[in-house]
Amino acid sequence: MIRIAAVGDLHYGAGSRDLLRPSLQHLPDRADLLLLAGDLTRCGGTEEVRVLAEELRGMPIPVVAVLGNHDYQTNCEDDVRRVLEGVGVTVLEGEAITLDIDGARIGIAGTKGFGGGFRGAHASDFGEPEMKAFVGHTKRLSDRLEQTLMDLDADLRVALLHYSPIETTLEGERLEIYPFLGSYLLAQAVDNAGADLILHGHAHHGIEKGRTPAGIPVRNVAQPVIRHAYNVYTLDARRQVMAAAGGIS
């Protein structure tokens, strides 16, 4: 059994001090690792991420994160990453980490991901260079995610994203903005490589649960969706997502 605590879209700012800290105190009793699904800050400022970093400092369980679009807003994403790494958080972008927990090896492949939409209503890399760049960015990140998952030598594999790989977990969002909330290419990448669980955020008005076309469980852990400090997902030896138990909000 591996217990994965996850949350996204914390959107930390200067006024967020101690927002998460009380809930983190009991986290090591409830989960084996904590995954953060991006949008850790409001506008990507280092002063914002430092507030979060101080709350994560000294966590006795591994903390793994991807960044979200908000963390890129001030073009300081490398600094945001360094601040988090400075307190022991692993930040993934087209990369993976493996952790040995209770005799099982869990691999986490992470990318922010990007938009483009979903089958039947998706952008294509055709026409203007700006359009090619937009779709090309999603394709590159998806291809990298697929390769990273394939290369993982692990008993259980988790894909950690910010943007959504499927439409189902966007339900409640305006249909018009779906192309800016995720891309089917992310799900296709994970379905090709295989994984046991996909976590994402970004869709604040979406719903928690869905599945990829190949049946891989997807969970939207944006905090406004899960309405807890974090959710805990348990993966068992049969590689199924058992249940979600809310943390203390």
68 binds Fe ion (CB under 5 A): yes
48 binds Fe ion (CB under 5 A): no
Q: Which stretch binds Fe ion (CB under 5 A): 54-62, 76-84, 173-181, 194-202?
A: 194-202
77 binds Fe ion (CB under 5 A): no
Nearest approach, Cβ of residue 219 and Fe ion (Å) = 15
Order of strands, sheet of 95-101, starting from the edge strand that comes earlier in the sequence: 95-101, 104-111, 156-161, 197-200, 217-220, 209-211
169 binds Fe ion (CB under 5 A): no
191 binds Fe ion (CB under 5 A): no
Q: What are phi and psi of 183, to 5 degrees?
A: -150, 140
Nearest approach, Cβ of residue 38 and Fe ion (Å) = 6
Tokens of 22: 């009380």
Q: Is the Cα dihedral 78, 43, 57, 31 positive or negative?
A: negative
173 binds Fe ion (CB under 5 A): no
Our CB check for Fe ion shows the closer of 69 and 138 to be 69
Nearest approach, Cβ of residue 203 and Fe ion (Å) = 8
Nearest approach, Cβ of residue 197 and Fe ion (Å) = 20
Tokens of 197: 């669980």
Q: What residues contact 132, with CB distance under 8 A and at least 6 apart?
A: 125, 126
CB-based burial of residue 159 (10 Å sphere; 0-12 exposed, 13-18 middle, 19+ buried)?
Answer: buried
**Interface with Fe ion by CB under 5 A: which residues?**
9, 39, 68-69, 202
